[in-house]
Amino acid sequence: MKDIYHNSAEDLLRELSHLKSQERALLADIKAVQTLLTHHVDNGDLDHLKTDAPNTFHFEDTNFIYSTGRVTWNYDDCNDVVAARENLKELEETARAIGTAAQKQGTPFWTVRA
């Protein structure tokens, strides 16, 4: 027979599973709405809601800030950069092996898979 403590732990697992499922659904909905809003921004449909701040729209007492996305760079064709990265990886592996690199533990988290 299970005690109250274990029942509580199992209830928490059940609740976490349910909440994560809701989170995935909400994130999918948010992504779809943001994609549609991006098309509206591109078409100028929200220009009447622009503020003085760049890429910012004010609607119903809320500011919405549109970010165009982060610029990234691809260095695959830069031989000097590729060689430097390979050298850095070797140096990092050596530092770990000889114990001069400090290990850091990240924040605990849960992954839920159904």
Task: List the domain range (segments joined by +) for residue 91.
Answer: 73-103
Per-residue model confidence (pLDDT) at position 71: 95
Q: Based on the fold, state whether residues 77 and 59 are members of the same structural domain.
A: no
Q: Based on the fold, state whether residues 51 and 97 are members of the same structural domain.
A: no
C-alpha distances (whole Å) from 54 to each of 50, 51, 63 are: 8, 7, 11
| Confidence label for 2 from pLDDT (cuts 50, 70 and 90) | low
Q: Based on the fold, state whether residues 20 and 58 are members of the same structural domain.
A: yes
Q: How high is the mean pLDDT of the chain?
A: 94
Per-residue model confidence (pLDDT) at position 98: 97
- The H-assigned helical ranges of 55-100 are 79-98
Tens digit of each residue's pLDDT (9 = 90 or more) over 31-69: 999 999 999 999 999 999 999 999 999 999 999 999 999
| Confidence label for 13 from pLDDT (cuts 50, 70 and 90) | very high
Beta bridge partners of 64: 57
